[in-house]
Amino acid sequence: MITYMADCDMQEERNNTFVIADNQDITRAGLHGYISSLFPGSEIIDVACKKELVSCMPECGKGTVVIVDYALFDINSADELSVISHRFRKSSWLLFSDNLGECLIRRLSSERNIGMLLKECDGEEIRRALSSSAAGSRFLCGAVRERLLSVPESHAGAPLLTPAEKDILKLIARGKSVKEIAALRISSVHTIVTHKKNIFRKLDINNVYEATRYALRAGLVEMADYYI
């Protein structure tokens, strides 16, 4: 966990604390720039994992904005994010990610203290999201609002998984851990965690049991493989 103070010679100082839960260096650097410009004198805390996030929150008072990349951070489900945000409900939470699935968006749409912003949004929308969150108001970017207003997609057809996602789903169904899958695929644990979250989002499932059941129904693994 690393704490910074934003430069305070550009605008009137604002007493906000921003907690950045994102494992991409370039994203953190960009957010530092926006925050320093909009809220000079504010405290910025970088956290690398869920444990650090939860441990720093009791020291953060009202006016704290928590910016989380759901896909890259070690929060395992929308329900877990909801539980953590309720625990620290005085803070504003902003989900900031490359891709937010429709099921996730609809699941979190009832959470009044969790805003949603896509990384593809332009600088003006990012600035508005940070300003709204710092003021204690929930922010939903235009793309998220459009998805909420659209008719939900039919689940009649099977979700389209990439070849890599299918392979990883098979390994999950065979009882392999994230570390074991990373070793087998010669990938980082971080990459496998991202794939796993994308698989769960696409299939609208929440745990390994449901993933295994789907893989069996879809014929991706045989019952004999499951019991190995």
pLDDT of 175-221, one tens digit each? 899 999 999 999 999 999 999 999 988 888 888 888 887 787 677 76
> How many Cβ atoms from other residues are within 10 Å of residue 56's Cβ?
19
- Most confident range, picked from 7-11, 127-131, 173-177: 127-131
Domains and CATH numbers, the chain: 2-149 (3.40.50.2300), 163-226 (1.10.10.10)
Q: Both tokens of residue 216?
A: 């069996």
What totals of helices (H) and strands (E) does the chain contain, helices first? 11, 6
Q: Tell whether the model's pLDDT for residue 74 goes beyond 60.
A: yes
R_g of the chain, CA atoms, integer Å: 19
Q: Both tokens of residue 101?
A: 């699935």
pLDDT of 79-125, one tens digit each? 888 889 988 988 999 999 887 877 788 888 888 899 999 989 999 99
Instruction: Please report how many Cα atoms fall inside a 13 Å half-sphere around the Cα of residue 171, on the Cβ side.
Output: 21
